[in-house]
Structure 1
Amino acid sequence: MAGLDFAKEGQLLETLLGSCVGIVLWDRARKHGALAHIMLSDSAGRSGSVGKYADTAIPAMIQQLRSWGSLPSDLVSKIAGGATMFGSRTANDVGEKNIQAVRAHLKRFGVRIVAEHIGGTQGRVIRFNPADGSVQVTIARNVVAVL
């Protein structure tokens, strides 16, 4: 499930989220962007895809988008997910840790978060359209929000 994907105008990206956080980076002028599905906040001592962790996914997204002509200052971000899927929110809540890590790493790279649909207790499906930067969020029971 965790990973990275990149798209240009005319393509759509989609992922299913629970406690994971979806990060969209979008360049309005160039109409391209990226979607990461973050499972965990930190890669320290772990193996797996760079898209699995906030600390490795965000730099990888920015690096690829740079190769397409974007600077970090050209990018905006939209985030979704980070639900508390099992029980109540605690200091060890995976969703909350993911949200905080994503915010911190985006700030470190100077990428503004312009919209978010986070927390709660239900999973979501997000669909990103790089043509207009829209992120459609469908939560359980088919409630739809567009960021």
Structure 2
Amino acid sequence: MPDGNDIQVRMCEVKLGSGNDVLRAILGSCVGIGLLWRKRGLYAMAHCLLPEPPQAPAGEGAKYVTDAVPTLFSMMGLERARQDEVEAVIAGGACMVQHATPPRHGLIGEQNARMAQQLLAQTRIKLVHVDVGGESGRQLVIDCAQHQFVVKTIGRST
């Protein structure tokens, strides 16, 4: 991969990529949100731990889905008028822990995925791929040079 970086997007991070960069995130119950602005050759990914903060908005970053979406827009310089030029992919949100009975507050992976989809539905961005839920982890990869993404399922070892 000449002239490019392999950019690992770790938990609670937001990263940008362009040129020959490759953005990657390994996701379990966390949700990954990838934005592809092919027209500008600009790509971004957030790796979100929780759907929303327990109180007022926390601010910038990707710990919470509710903060990650505006942070992605800000980092990309994406104005509402240009949102229709951008595509989104959401992956992750799996149930990685076996529960005897479902938690009272619900499954965090499901909440993460639902919040990401709700927030993107309020924009002009086209959601082109959703791969969430189940009991398997995923890897979300955005290859900036190829202008493509891929979601790979990571099987659970028995």
Structure 2 length-normalised TM: 0.78
Structure 1 residues 133 and 52: alpha-carbon distance in aligned structure 2, compared to 1, 3 A threshold? farther
Moved over 3 A (4+): 46-49, 88-91
2:141 paired with 1:131:
no
Residue 123 of structure 1: how far off its partner (Å): 1.1
Q: CA RMSD in A?
A: 2.4
Equivalent position amino acid for 1:140 in 2 = I
In structure 2, the residue matched to 1:99 is 113
More helix by share: 1
In 1, the alpha carbon distance for the partners of 2:28 and 2:76 equals 26
Larger radius of gyration: 2
In structure 2, the residue matched to 1:30 is 40
Superposed CA offset, 1:20-65 (max 9, x none) = 1111001111111100001110024386862111111101111121
Instruction: Name the SS of the counterpart of 2:44 in structure 1.
Output: strand
Unaligned runs of 5+ in 2: 1-10
The alignment of Structure 1 onto Structure 2 pairs a total of residues equal to 141
Asked whether the 8 Å contact 1:32–1:131 carries over to 2, the reply is: no
Q: Taking every aligned residue pair, what percent have the same amino acid on both sides?
A: 27
Superposed CA offset, 1:75-127 (max 9, x none) = 11011101011126666110110011001111122222101211110111221
Unaligned runs of 5+ in 1: 143-147
In 2, the alpha carbon distance for the partners of 1:55 and 1:24 equals 15
Structure 1 length-normalised TM: 0.84
Structure 1 residues 48 and 19: alpha-carbon distance in aligned structure 2, compared to 1, 3 A threshold? farther
In 1, the alpha carbon distance for the partners of 2:149 and 2:30 equals 16
